[in-house]
Amino acid sequence: MAATVTIRRHTGVGGSQTKTDITSGNTRASTSDAFNPGTSDPIPIPPSGSKYSYWVSTQLSADTTPAGTIDNIKWYSDGSNNFGTGVTVKGADASTGVDSGYRQAAGTPGDTGTELTQGNHTGLDSAPVDVFGLTSGSPKALGGSIVNPSTGDFGDFFVYQIAVDNTASPGELPVDETFTFKYDET
């Protein structure tokens, strides 16, 4: 029987972080370390330069055991940034060090997150890239697997962050974006 696999967003202090199921809902990037801040703590448009969301850490979790093995994990976007001018999204895989790559998001609540770089997030395996370059035809391969009879978190994290620069338009972003995890189960 196929496993029940969910997408979890990790927030809070590493080692005791909150892992929220975001599989069937939306999650919003903001200037706070919260899985669903609503419209609180939006990313402000700066007079110059960029402001950032807190980074968003996502990982798969097997709620029931797979029939055999789940592996060959991929992450991708639809390839089109519909957020509008002045809004970008960068992301990378994370599996290095304590908590298998999880690092609590940081920044100044209500103002800006700490920029997602390998220097600021020491669990990243590679430098963040434009997520809209990661498509179903060219996805980001994530390491890791889970084997029967195990359950729980598995695979590398995919961590992303939204940046807003001074050319962005005020107000809520006009659309939602869909990001996809894909895997093989045997």
Distance separating alpha carbons of residues 101 and 125, to the nearest angstrom: 8
Cross-strand bridge partners of residue 29: none
**DSSP 8-state assignment for residue 83:** S
Tell me what pLDDT residue 78 has: 96
pLDDT band (50, 70, 90) for residue 1:
confident
Provide the terminal-to-terminal Cα distance of the chain, rounded to the nearest Å.
10
Tell me what pLDDT residue 99 has: 62
Tell me what pLDDT residue 110 has: 94
CA distances from 48 to 32, 68, 167, 170 (A): 21, 52, 9, 14
Task: Name the more confident of 182 and 1.
Answer: 182
Tell me what pLDDT residue 69 has: 97
Distance separating alpha carbons of residues 163 and 179, to the nearest angstrom: 17
Least confident of 22-31, 87-96, 108-117, 157-166: 22-31
Task: Name the more confident of 101 and 155.
Answer: 155
Distance separating alpha carbons of residues 18 and 8, to the nearest angstrom: 9
Tell me what pLDDT residue 111 has: 97
Q: What is the mean pLDDT of residues 88-110?
A: 89
Q: What is the mean pLDDT of residues 128-133?
A: 98
Least confident of 10-19, 111-120, 125-134: 10-19
**Residue range 72-98, pLDDT digits in tens:** 999 999 999 999 999 999 999 999 766
**Residue range 137-183, pLDDT digits in tens:** 999 999 999 999 999 999 999 999 999 999 999 887 778 899 999 99
